[in-house]
Amino acid sequence: MYAGPIIDAHHHLWDLALQRHRWLTDTDGGLSALGDISYMRHTYLPADYLRDVADKNVTGSVHIEAVWDRARSPVEETEWLETLDKSRGVASRYIAFAPLQDPGVEAILEAQAAHKRVVGVRETIRWHPDPAKRWTEKGLVDDPGFRRGVGLLAKHGLALELLMNPWQAEEVARLAGDFPDQVILINHCCTPNDRDAEGLARWRNGLALMARHDNVAIKVSNFGAYSPDKSIPALRETVMTCIDAFGTRRALFGTDYPVARRNMTFAAMVDAFAEIIAPFSADEQRALFHDNARRTYRFD
């Protein structure tokens, strides 16, 4: 199985002593759609991440914004990340936050892009007809203010990451078509939480629709979250549906640690992904585990 270098394209860090992550610390500030998050209510820094990595060959990682207190400047999170140890490549690149609908977002984008490790921003667009699974309002991607913000990203060399589910696939496909030079990355396999036949069909069709646009890629991150069955055949269905849609040059491995600890250990995720992609060529395996992330996040 694959034994080459790995770039983890998706993980988070936080220091609860800073009191900047209310969704983790406040009883009324949590994200209810995540369910019980008590297992995450502790500080998680590079040393903690490296303990989870253990003997896996992770040579670099991408930190994804972790819902820093939205009442404060999102640049604070970037400035905090800059103070952390980089000797083992943890959080070598950042996907930051910027409120794209905000009329004053360009100043925030300029401030974020002034930090060379910032290579993109993430927005949550996860609407669902079931209120228990709903994180945002409906139709956010088609909002003129949001689209104006997206139009500013290329000027600053920033990718757009989206935390979404299949209900937004048509909107995202339109966005990709209207902004063909904007790199867009879909988080967490496009969140196939609806496991009935209709939901899975919506997911597969949504992936195919977005994958028609060459500027869209997908992160096969936290792929163990969507079924209680953690067997290789069950995991393979999630992983390979993503890779079959986007190909081996537009799919990236990520863990979503420490969030994903509820579902799988770090080692189990790496080993399962390696087993699933073993039929690919050595170059394709390295692309999925490392090279696609290196190119997309400008590790060079």
Chain segment 135-173, per-residue pLDDT in tens? 898 999 999 999 999 999 999 999 999 999 999 999 999
Residue 34 has a pLDDT of 76
Burial class (CB in 10 A: 0-12, 13-18, 19+), 144: exposed
Mean pLDDT of 35-46: 92
The average confidence (pLDDT) of the chain is: 96
Q: Answer whether residue 255 shows pLDDT above 90.
A: yes
pLDDT in tens, 186-205: 999 999 999 999 999 999 99
Please choose, from the candidates 232, 222, 236, the residue with its C-alpha nearest in 3D space to the C-alpha of residue 190.
222
Q: Where are the domains of the chain?
A: 6-296
Give the pLDDT band (50/70/90) at residue 28.
low
Please choose, from the candidates 292, 299, 214, 283, the residue with its C-alpha nearest in 3D space to the C-alpha of residue 4.
283
Percent of the chain past pLDDT 70, that is, above it, reads: 98
Residue 132 has a pLDDT of 86
C-alpha distance from residue 139 to each of 192, 194, 241 (Å): 19, 19, 26
Beta carbons within 8 Å of 188's beta carbon, 6+ residues apart? 10, 163, 219, 221, 222, 223, 225, 256
Tokens of 154: 């290329």
Residue 300 has a pLDDT of 81
Q: Which CATH class is domain 6-296?
A: alpha beta
Tokens of 259: 């969030």
Whether the predicted model's global pTM rises above the 0.75 cut: yes
Q: Answer whether residue 30 shows pLDDT above 80.
A: no
Give the pLDDT band (50/70/90) at residue 234.
very high
Q: Which of 46-50, 89-93, 153-157, 226-230 has the lowest mean pLDDT?
A: 226-230
Percent of the chain past pLDDT 90, that is, above it, reads: 92
Give the pLDDT band (50/70/90) at residue 98.
very high
Between CA 172 and CA 256, with CA 269 as vertex, the angle to 5 degrees is: 45
Mean pLDDT of 80-105: 97
Q: Answer whether residue 33 shows pLDDT above 70.
A: no
Q: For the sheet with 118-124, list strands across it.
A: 6-11, 58-64, 93-97, 118-124, 159-163, 184-186, 216-221, 251-254
pLDDT in tens, 259-281: 999 999 999 999 999 999 999 99
Give CA–CA dist 168/41, Å, rounded.
Answer: 30
In sign, the C-alpha dihedral spanning 225, 29, 158, 46 is negative
Give CA–CA dist 221/234, Å, rounded.
Answer: 15
Rounded-to-10 torsion of CA 272, 5, 215, 111: 120
